[in-house]
Amino acid sequence: MSGYGLQFRQAHFPGRAPIDAYGNGGFRFAEMSHRGSLLCLPSGIYGWEPQSRAALREDDFARLMAEAGEIEILLVGTGVRLDPLPGALKQALRAAGIAAEPMATGAAVRTFNVLLAEDRAVAAALLAVD
């Protein structure tokens, strides 16, 4: 029987959910936990590769760009402190019509939860913190 077998997929929660906790290298949401960074989009919550602000590239935001029409604001949790986004990335997001707001990951989580509760078109790219 070809076509059958184990399939491994990137961590994903289909839907929108507030972030219940962060720290220790990961996040808790929807009665689940995830180790590593997260990308929270209208289509769901995905595991996200970048481990640091310095490692952010435009390619890391490809899934977000595909949903740009459904996103009003993007909160970017840059780690333990606020770091500005690389200029080329900021420009690419702006060209897609997305207002990106970098902030420390903790502030991004709190702001995401508030905007989500207000049913706003918010997305978040959250770098994990220890």
pLDDT in tens, the chain (130 residues): 444 544 444 667 898 999 999 999 999 999 999 999 999 999 999 999 888 887 788 999 999 999 999 999 999 999 999 999 988 899 999 999 999 999 999 999 999 999 999 999 999 999 999 9
Exposure class string for 72-88: b at 16+ Cβ within 10 A, else e: ebbbbbbbeebbebeee
Residue 6 within any structural domain of the chain: no
Query: Domain residues for 31?
Result: 12-126
Residue 44 near residue 29 (C-beta atoms within 8 A): no
Asked if residue 88 belongs to a domain, the reply is yes
Asked if the structure places residue 5 within a domain, the reply is no
Strand 73-77, strand 99-103: pairing: parallel
Domain CATH code at residue 38: 3.40.1230.10
Q: Radius of gyration over alpha carbons of the chain, in Å?
A: 15
- What is the pTM assigned to this prediction? 0.89
Q: Does residue 58 lie in a domain region? A: yes
The total domain count for the chain is: 1
